[in-house]
Structure 1
Amino acid sequence: MTPLTSVPRLIGIARVLLRYRLDDLVEAVHLYRPLIWVRGLFGRPAANIEELSRGARLRMALAELGPIFVKFGQILSTRRDLLPGDIADELTQLQDQVPPFPGAEARAIVEKALGADVAELFAFFSEEPLASASIAQVHAAQLKDGREVVVKVVRPGIAQRIAGDMSLLRDFARLAERFHPNADKIRPRDVVAEIELTLRNELDLQREGANACLLRRNFKDSPDLYVPEVFWSHSRENVLTLERVRGIPADDIAALDAAGIDRTKVAQKGIQLFYTQVFRDNFFHADAHAGNIWVDPSRPVEPRFIAIDFGIMGSLAEADQFWLAENFIALFNQDYRRIAQLHVQAGWMPATTRLDELEAAVRSVCEPYFTRPLSEISLAEVLVKLFQTARRYELTVQPQLILLQKTLLNIEGIGRQLDPKIDIWAVAKPVLERLWRDRHGPAAMWKALRRRVPEWLTAAPDMPQLLHDYLKKASSGGIEMRVHSEDLRNLHADASAGRAQIVPLALGATLILSSVLLYALDGGATRVLGVPLTAWATAIAGTLCFWTANRRS
């Protein structure tokens, strides 16, 4: 049950929902249904409110409810697998328009977190904030060595307010799960849990600083992306000090033109950077709207992006990354059968799904797009349609994929603003194919082999005894195997993803180990790298057996 202390807040939420004529949302919450009969007590709706779309009314209501509900709407806008398109589009327009808290209070927070007076820490610290958002605000400062920085400070009391509002959202989720007719598809409690995790991560500025450091390392000396430096000596969990950077927001077309920026090059680099972050580094900026992606005005001929705000970053499990890349490549090649097979092999859809029906559904989604010029096709839009169609076949999508889909929508949107004629497919396809080839080509296999050889050599002396024990148990009937259908599906998916790499790696390992052994025997040595030649021979035999077995399978 909801605590009595929450009742005033609940009534306030109901009042706003009714004022914006979101009666269907009130009716969906069992606790609020009686309020429909006393709607008049909550005041008259704003003028012409009923003429607005439901998405616009919801956006305005969330903005009035306060910063946490604004953040809730922003995060919810990423779940296009759950929301109608018109509502998701409106929620993406939510902006943090939050009055700043007093600069003196920010100064006190910095001093308490860093354990010293601001005058000792900085040559200059402005109490006038540069920007203010729902979670934190930013102040300009200068280090003692003269370097310009910005100091991000978490709002006082925001953690407690988030905890209180999240408690209410969990109550709403439980009610929706109990009474909403489509609760099994919406999964309201999972959605709220995802939102809570995102907010908790954004409250931890040390986590954001670590994100910035990793992204900066990934693009060190890159001509395409600059990431500001983190000053850890002046950072804590609720205070983050970063190098101050200056740039033009990526959607400020007039300013970019005035600076002489080549917008076509910028748009192409934005698309290429997205695929590089996802498929080379598996670490991507997942809040890539124009407010967080700037363009460096000092490089008009060879422009580069400047990234800021690293609170929300994304990564994919290795299996998801493999299946996603294969899906992209199949989509580029209009191979609908392959897309259907990949969705089932990845475990995103039940193994009982009829591939011919799924292939037909995929074709019905994609073919209308391919009648247009490629420059007019949005890859993100096609993916959204595919996910929505696949839901009819019990599609299960991980939150990471939804986050990536939302980021791709943002990146493509920025790209089309910068260059309305950009052919996103022509830019994306060669980049993805090259990255994927580099990731799974001979050089990548050799690197993986070198990384695993010491591990294999360490385990080699134990192999004969382990093999003997296994065969002894097998001959006496002491081995019992139990495999469930779900295990078989997962095993099939893993084998399909890895077999193409494992067999060549095993063959390569055999050749390398054999070469080392022959070289040692020719030189009369009895040990190589401190390992007896008998262990090397065992490793070769085991690898050959493994390669042969995998080849036959």
Structure 2
Amino acid sequence: MPIARSVTIARVFLRYRLNELVPAESQPLWLRVLWAPAKLLPSGKAKRMGRGERLRRALEDLGPIFVKFGQLLSTRPDLLPPDMVEELNHLQDNVPPYPADQCIARIEAALGASVDELFAEFEREPLASASVAQVHAARLKGENGEAGQSVVVKVLRPGIGRIIGQDLQLLRHIARWIERFLPDGKRMRPVEVVEDYRHTIEGELDLVREAANGSELKRNFASSPLLYIPEVYWDYTRENVLVLERIDGIPVTDLDQLRAQGTNMALLAERGVEIFFKQVFEHNFFHADMHPGNIFVSRENPERPKYIAIDTAIVGSLTREDQYYLARNLLAMFRRDYRMVAELHVQSGWVRRDTPINAFEAAIRAVCEPIFEKPLGEISFARVLISLFQTARRFDMEVQPQLVLLQKTLLNIEGLGRQLYPQLDLWKTAHPFLERWMRERIHPKTILGEIRRYGPEWLEKFPQLPQLAFSALEQGRDLAPQLHRLGIELAHSKRRGRTRYARMIAGVMLAAGAGLVASPGLLTQIPAASWALGAAALALLLWP
């Protein structure tokens, strides 16, 4: 851990009395002794600040990487109390721009030509400057050298990879320290939160990846009236330089301008929800950084408004199994079928197989029932999901990175929708979509599509089936004598009055056989040994 940076962090912690964020009675004695000298220092303005403001100001003082980390924490109300989350929502990723000459030098080095050769116009004053990159306006050259398409040029900051690496190392040390020494540290899972942040921030350091994400999203919504994604100019895009079509839209938070042009606010809010569910369930590829700064509204056709999304560095997707279980969870939850919710969590592997279903169901009911006493239009869909995951964590639910991204995106979308149209009933939009998606999942046309997609792979493996079946039978034949001897020994054991042990071993054999049957690759390698195990176990259970 760099000493100078560590000293800076310690000084900021002391200045804002961050030790007081943890109740004194929860701190170990040695920590209270360590922090004792801080009480002798002047507290200044910190004493008059709430704990959320102190945390926010400390992160701002520590620099842009910590600001972005605070922004991530603001999406985790399952870890932090509401007052801290609200304060962290005010963090702004605005930093002074670096000199235009350095920026131009980086563009020219990446693209192998001078800015004058590459662009008809290039504005030296940046449009925006953030912790990872800054953006300049430009115009591409037309066919005859005249000014053509208006674009934006995004350029990574020099040395940003090294800076991020150092700060990530510091964050890891702090996370391990919190997890090891604070009484509630393990519950907060700080190491996993930092690892989640590492994936997020590293995704923003490769602009080719961001461009590819944008192209995929654009293709998914190519003929849709819901969402527009700017065009990527691949000839001008490299790992540290990205050139995109410049869009002309109204910031989604500029409510006055939206109302002035006669925007249908109710439809705009509903379309935001529809975009989310379409991305998650139909495309299985969703923009996971849809905070208000990245969302605009097209000026065209305000009565049928269309969104514009930028900054596609962070995206998410779910496995087919997670998609299915998530949809069924949401439907069961809003039907108040808490037994089904509990069972689905176990079936999906989100909680352990040995989770007591009755206790888990009771915990879910205790969390959800007070929420559902309200009218559906007043229920926060995202908060229900967060409450569900919080409850599951008490039953050792592991952090699911893909679900954290989903939860973060849903929080952004719902918050945005209610800001645009406070009467938004998210469930009214979501429910029919989920019902339709579940029906289409088992529709013959969908099944036929799956056969067409995977058919060539199945046909390729088909000639191997006879040999695989023969090998499985051989394994079963070799195992049969051993099973026979084991059966005789267990029968003798049973006669000696040890029926309990025989049944226990039979149960193990049944479980082993079931495990083999349920193992991956069932379609291509059905182990005959599993059936032999099952038959032998059944014989043991029925033995007189």
Residue identity matched to 2:12: V
2:377/2:425 contact within 8 Å kept: yes
**In structure 1, what is the equivalent of residue 70 of structure 2?**
73
Within 5 Å, give how 1:404-419 maps onto structure 2. Answer: 404-419=406-421
| Preserved contact between residue 386 and residue 407 of structure 2 (Cα < 8 Å) | yes
Equivalences for residues 273-422 of structure 1 within 5 A: 273-422=275-424
Alignment match of 1:19 (pick from 11, 15, 20): 15
Q: CA deviation at 1:335?
A: 1.3
**Counterpart for residue 45 of structure 1:** 43
Partner deviation per Cα, 1:24-54 (whole Å, 9 max, x = no partner)? 3699799987763443786x3343x334321
Specify which structure has the bigger relative contact order, considering alpha-carbon pairs within 8 angstroms and separated by 6 or more residues: 1
Match of 2:271 in 1: 269
Shift of 1:478: 7.9
The answer for the alignment partner of 2:449 in structure 1 is 447
Q: Which residue of 2 aligns with 1:87?
A: 84
The alignment's TM-score, normalised by the length of structure 1, stands at 0.83
Tell me the equivalent position of 2:95.
98
- Partner residue of 1:126? 123
Q: Distance in 1 between matches of 2:165 and 2:255?
A: 40
Residue 244 of structure 2 is aligned with which of 242, 245, 249? 242
**Amino acid across the alignment from 1:91:** L
**Pairing partner for 2:212 from 203, 207, 210:** 210
1:143 aligns with 2:140: yes
Alpha-carbon distance between aligned partners in 2 of 1:22 and 1:174, rounded to the nearest angstrom: 17
Q: Which residue of 1 is the match for residue 35 of structure 2? A: 36
Secondary structure in structure 2 of the residue aligned to 1:242: strand
Change (3 A) 1:121 1:461: same
Selected match of 1:9 from 5, 18, 30:
5
3-state SS in 1 of match to 2:292: coil
CA distance in 1, matches of 2:441, 2:125: 47
**1:170 aligns to what SS in structure 2?**
helix
Contact 1:29 1:175 in 2 (8 A): no
Question: 1:131, 1:138 within 8 Å by CA — same for their partners in 2?
Answer: yes
How far, CA to CA, are the matches of 1:313 and 1:126 in structure 2?
30
Question: Compared with structure 1, are the counterparts of its residues 361 and 297 closer, same or farther at alpha carbon in structure 2 (3 Å cutoff)?
Answer: same
- Listed as ranges, the matches of 1:419-430 within 5 Å are 419-430=421-432
Tell me the SS of whatever aligns to 1:280.
Answer: helix
Report the CA distance shift for 1:41/1:162 in structure 2 as closer, same or farther (over 3 A).
Answer: farther
In the alignment, the residues of structure 1 paired with residue 17 and residue 184 of structure 2 have an alpha-carbon distance, to the nearest angstrom, of 22
Structure 1, 33-42 or 196-205: larger mean CA deviation: 33-42
Task: Give the 3-state SS of the residue equivalent to 1:111 in structure 2.
Answer: helix
Name the % identity: 51
Match of 2:494 in 1: none
Supply the distance in 2 between the matched residues of 1:456 and 1:90 (Cα, whole angstroms): 54
Q: TM-score, normalising length from structure 2?
A: 0.84
8 Å CA contact 1:219–1:225 kept in 2: the answer is yes
Separation of aligned partners in 2, 1:251 and 1:86: 22
Asked whether the equivalents of residues 175 and 191 of structure 2 are also in contact (C-alpha less than 8 Å), the reply is yes
Structure 2 CA distance for partners of 1:304 and 1:63, relative to 1, 3 Å: same
From the superposition, tell whether residues 436 and 120 of structure 1 become closer, same or farther in structure 2 (CA, over 3 Å).
farther
Q: Does the C-alpha gap of structure 1 residues 334 and 480 become closer, same or farther in structure 2, counting only changes over 3 Å?
A: farther
Distance of 1:390 and 1:466 partners within structure 2: 41
Q: Provide the secondary structure at the position in 2 that maps to 1:203.
A: coil
> Could you report, residue by residue, the CA deviation over 1:366-399 in whole angstroms, capped at 9, with x for unpaired residues?
2212221111111101111122222222222302
Q: Distance in 2 between matches of 1:212 and 1:480?
A: 59
In structure 2, what is the equivalent of residue 109 of structure 1?
Answer: 106
Residues 245-256 of structure 1: pairs in structure 2 closer than 5 A? 245-256=247-258
Are residues 1:54 and 2:51 paired?
Answer: yes
CA deviation digits over 1:312-348, x for unaligned, max 9?
A: 1111122222211111111222211111111111122
Per-residue CA deviation, residues 101-131 of structure 1 (Å, 9 max, x unaligned), is 1122111110111111001111011111001
- State the SS of the aligned residue for 1:241: strand
How far is 1:161 from its partner? Answer: 1.2
| CA distance in 2: counterparts of 1:366 and 1:335, whole angstroms | 11
Do the aligned partners of 2:180 and 2:186 also contact (CA within 8 Å) in 1? no
Residue 88 of structure 1: how far off its partner (Å): 2.5
Q: Structure 1 CA distance, aligned partners of 2:456 and 2:18?
A: 63
| Aligned counterparts, 1:445-524, within 5 A | 445-477=447-479
TM-superposed deviation, 1:480: 9.9
Q: Cα 1:57–1:456, aligned 2, differ >3 Å: closer, same or farther?
A: same
Q: CA deviation at 1:298?
A: 1.7
Q: Which amino acid aligns with 1:116?
A: A
Contact 1:204 1:237 in 2 (8 A): yes
**Shift in alpha-carbon separation, 1:147–1:468, aligned structure 2, 3 A:** same
Shift of 1:299: 1.9
How far residue 160 of structure 1 moved from its aligned partner, in angstroms, is 1.4
| Residues in 1 aligned to 2:354 and 2:331: alpha-carbon distance in whole angstroms | 25
Within 1, Cα distance between the matches of 2:129 and 2:230? Answer: 19
- C-alpha distance 488-229 of structure 1, shift in aligned 2 (>3 A): farther
1:259-292 Cα shifts (integer Å, max 9, x gaps): 1111111000000110000011111111111111
**Residue identity matched to 2:289:** D
For 2:65 and 2:92, locate their aligned partners in 1 and report how far apart those are by CA, in whole Å: 12
**Structure 2, unaligned stretches of length 5 or more?**
143-147, 484-504, 525-544
Q: Could you tell me how far apart the structure 2 residues matched to 1:270 and 1:136 are?
A: 27
The alignment partner of 1:151 has SS state of: strand
Counterpart-to-counterpart distance in 1, 2:40 and 2:115? 50
Write out per-residue CA displacement over residues 418-467 of structure 1, whole angstroms, 9 at most, x where no aligned residue: 11111111111111222232233221101111223333333333322332
Contact 2:21 2:51 in 1 (8 A): no
Query: How many residues are treated as equivalent by the alignment?
Result: 491
C-alpha distance in structure 1 between counterparts of 2:94 and 2:134, whole Å: 11
Structure 2 CA distance, aligned partners of 1:217 and 1:339? 35
Give 3-state SS (helix, strand or coil) of 1:476's partner.
helix
Question: Could you say which residue in structure 1 is the equivalent of 2:491?
Answer: none
Q: Distance in 2 between matches of 1:469 and 1:312?
A: 46
Return closer, same or farther for 1:372/1:452 CA change in 2, 3 Å cut-off. same
The Cα of 1:10 is off from its aligned counterpart by 1.5
In structure 1, which of residues 42, 64, 72 is the aligned counterpart of residue 61 of structure 2? 64
Alpha carbons of structure 1 residues 229 and 88: separation in structure 2 relative to 1, 3 Å: same
